A and B are shown apart, each in its own frame.
Chain A
Amino acid sequence: MVSLNHLTSGAQGRLVRLGGDRAFRRRLMELGLLPGTPVRLVRRAELGGVLEIEVRRSRLTVRLAEAAEVFVVAAE
């Protein structure tokens, strides 16, 4: 199990556990990222300090600090 920000760009994972602020967890789950849902790290904006992830075919941006509390198992 690794946190989302430790995935390499393009790598696929499956959500295990959502940590962090209640509002953050709720928002992410309502956008369809629930435990068990596949998630892919699309790219990281080094300058922006933001990750772009793909969940259910939509692209979302997550800050690095918040991504550190999102845990996934890397998929094959």
Chain B
Amino acid sequence: MTIATRIPCVAIAGNPNTGKTTLFNRLTGARAKVGNYPGVTVERQIGSIELEGFGKVQVMDVPGTYSLSARSREEQLAIQAVAGLHPLEKPDVVVCVVDATQLVRNLYLVLQLIELDTPIVCALNMTDRLKVTGQSIDVKALKRALGVPVVPIVAPKGTGFEELRQAIGEVLKDPRKAHVDWPWESPEPLLEADVLTVGKEIPDDWVGGNERRRRALALWALLSVEEEDELDSIPEALRNLVARRRMLADASGRRIEEEIIRSRYGWLDAHSPGFLKESPQSLSLTDKIDRVLLNPTVGFALFIAFMTVLFQSIFAWADPLIGWIEVLFEWLGDTTVAVMPGGFFRDLLVQGLIAGVGGVLVFLPQILLLFFFIGLMEDTGYMTRIAYLMDRVMRLLGLHGRAFVPMLSGYACAVPAILATRTMERSRDRLLTMMVVPLMTCSARLPVYGLLIAAIIPPDHARPFTQGLLLTGMYLFSTLIALLAAGVLGRTVLKGSRVPFLMEMPPYRLPHWPSIVRMMWQRSSVFIREAGTIILACTVGMWFLLSYPKAPETESAQAPVTSPISSDEKAEHEIGGSDLRNSYAGRLGRSVEPILKPLGFDWKIGVGLIGAFAAREVFVSTMAVVYGLDDGEDETSHTLRSHIHEQRWPDGRVVYTPLVCFSLMAFFALACQCMSTVAVVKRETGSWRWPIFLFGYTTAMAWVASFAIYQGGTLLGF
């Protein structure tokens, strides 16, 4: 950014669950933009406020953190953002949001910011809850003890915002107002030596001419840098030095971490009686609720009930809305066909663009509903309880406890489920979940299973429950494979250093509705803008593949001259569908037949598989077209089913034997046959690397499974 007069920048930092987001939202109004931090997939919001005497001031959020010391790349962001380390710009003021009901622990972060000589304003939030918790804070005394501006606020109500804006303005005008001398003295003389030595290896551009920051950053390095960390751009010399100092300390029985942390808490504990009065706690409302919600039997039953509602909503309640969107876009398409002269552009508009936009928007109901529930669970504090209840099971699979909601949502649709992985802060946990969620049996697979199960067991001969049992079997199969894949990927490709499961159990709070609505809106608009464009482009591409080149009218009844496969001759006897057969997709289907034949699939199924990449359920309608049925034919009608039964290989064998149907169902269960999923993974991971990996490994797995089923079954004589 090269602006002539630099816009001042305010960063909002603080512990998790302190109401940072609410403050940010209320301060900046509805105009914030969501973007990524440079180089990582962590999102940040940037908004602006009007400040008297300054005009427009930029406001950005910093990921919530208990401390600036870091192990993961995501945690490192916090210090980079507040201290203006590479590649981020240094904020002019950092507003540190402090939960008044957990004052001492929150001040630990404030102390670190003071060490870095950051111009800070302390926003003392949740002051309205102090009465309930039996605490009282003397704000003047707190201000004196810290030496920085402290403003009591109640973020959801907007109380104290005027004073906060004033305080920000004053520090912007004169940063010395927030300058304090280094607060604490280390009681350990040996620690001083470590800090001085390590300080010499702190790069000068981190220090930025303020020698005090050298000391603060040396402390940061001593706490953060270690063999297993995932930190970025730490000079090798600094790494080695920290390791050596730590080894020396360990050898003499010192614990550097404890010395540093104890120095800070020592200062806080010595000063807190001056500004904080606490009376003994009575049983809180959170305690009473948790007695029920975390109860091994009642709590677990309620958990299952909540999850059932969540799942039902995205699986079934979203359906009518999706239906309306589909009807609307069908109508748009039909109307365009009626008013526009036929030809390439009409087809492009109707089958490519209108269908594509519709194909993006159909995801909205599920995304909105899922994020409504996620917002509700995050805001009230229930999400942490889910992780608490599910940790053992999820950990067994190498997944984070919070991966439960995305995994469950995957049974409805992978697209919102992948968006829902945001509730996990670590990118390794997010990636692992994203890589296995598409294996869950989503609702788009159901029409395909329906068709194939009907082909295996014709409905008229079905014994009760056999069809249902088969479908249940498919659900179990996909779940089992997803869990296995998580176990394997988590120990190989996505092996991460162990991260302690230390979470805060926040007290229950009433949800802040505007924040939830805002999150629903943000997630949907980011999806439409960034994943939607890829999906739209894919739809146009798929339309082109499936309808070009057009077969000349006269040739449509004859076998194409260049046809490479003998089975064509028979196929050509079928009426219609010749456009598709001659299309690029048709040719592609034929050219991949050699790869598909060992799975029991003919080239027509190959075309169906290619069509299914647009969306799995499209397989059914593509097959209808391949078999020359009218476009308008009801997809689930008997016509398609009977056509399927009549399909023969050139040598007269039946194509859709039960074995082939099983092989095909296994293929659909495992392959990530869904461009929308691929697109949304691209958007969430920020590169093509992971979506390509996802597509590759699931397709390979699908091929192997189908091969094993078909060849194994054939050997066994099925």
Contact = CB atoms under 8 A, between A and B. Distances in A.
Given A30-B108, A32-B105, A50 B498 contact: no
Nearest to B99: A58
Nearest to A29: B261
A18 B497 CA distance: 20
Contacts of A45: 294, 296, 388-389, 391
Interface string B71-110: 1000000000000000000000000000001101100100
A46 B294 CA distance: 10
Nearest to A43: B294
A59 B261 CA distance: 19
Contacts of A31: 66, 105, 502, 504
A34 B258 contact: yes
Given A29-B258, A31-B66, A47-B389, A56 B104 contact: yes
Interface residues of B, number: 45
B133 interface: yes
B500 interface: yes
Interface residues of A, number: 33
A29 B500 CA distance: 13
B105 A23 contact: no
B392 interface: yes
Contacts of B150: none
B223 A26 contact: yes
Interface in A32-65: 32, 34-35, 43, 45-50, 52, 56-63
B403 to A, nearest CB: 14
B170 interface: no
A57 B102 contact: yes
B315 to A, nearest CB: 25
Contacts of A46: 296
Nearest to A46: B296
Contact of A59 (B391, B392, B504): B504
Contact of A47 (B102, B133, B392, B503): B392
B505 interface: yes
Given A21-B500, A47-B389, A57 B101 contact: yes
Contacts of B300: 47
A62 B194 CA distance: 31
B389 A32 contact: no
Given A23-B499, A31-B105, A60-B503, A48 B390 contact: yes
A25 B387 CA distance: 21
A30 B261 contact: yes
B617 interface: no
Contacts of B506: 59
A49 B393 CA distance: 9
A75 B625 CA distance: 76
B479 interface: no
Contacts of B71: 23
Contacts of B261: 26, 29-30, 34
Nearest to A52: B505
A38 to B, nearest CB: 12
Contacts of B258: 18, 25, 29, 34-35
A50 B278 CA distance: 29
Interface string B533-573: 00000000000000000000000000000000000000000
Nearest to A32: B105
A50 B261 CA distance: 25
With most chain A CB atoms within 10 A of its CB, the pick from B69, B105, B228, B501 is B501
B296 A60 contact: no
Contacts of B391: 45, 48-50, 61, 63
23 contacts: A21-B498, A22-B226, A22-B257, A28-B500, A29-B257, A31-B105, A34-B258, A34-B262, A34-B265, A43-B294, A45-B294, A45-B388, A45-B391, A48-B392, A48-B401, A56-B104, A57-B278, A57-B281, A58-B105, A59-B504, A60-B502, A60-B504, A62-B501
Interface of B: 66-67, 69, 71, 101-102, 104-105, 108, 133, 223, 226, 228, 257-258, 261-262, 265, 278, 281, 290, 294, 296, 300, 384, 387-393, 395, 401, 497-507
Given A23-B71, A26-B257, A58-B504, 15 more contacts: A22-B226, A23-B228, A30-B261, A34-B262, A45-B388, A48-B392, A50-B388, A56-B105, A57-B133, A57-B281, A59-B506, A60-B503, A61-B502, A61-B504, A63-B391
Please provide the 8 A-B residue pairs with the shortest distance between their CB atoms, ordered closest to farther.
A49-B392, A59-B505, A24-B500, A30-B67, A29-B261, A48-B391, A63-B501, A61-B503
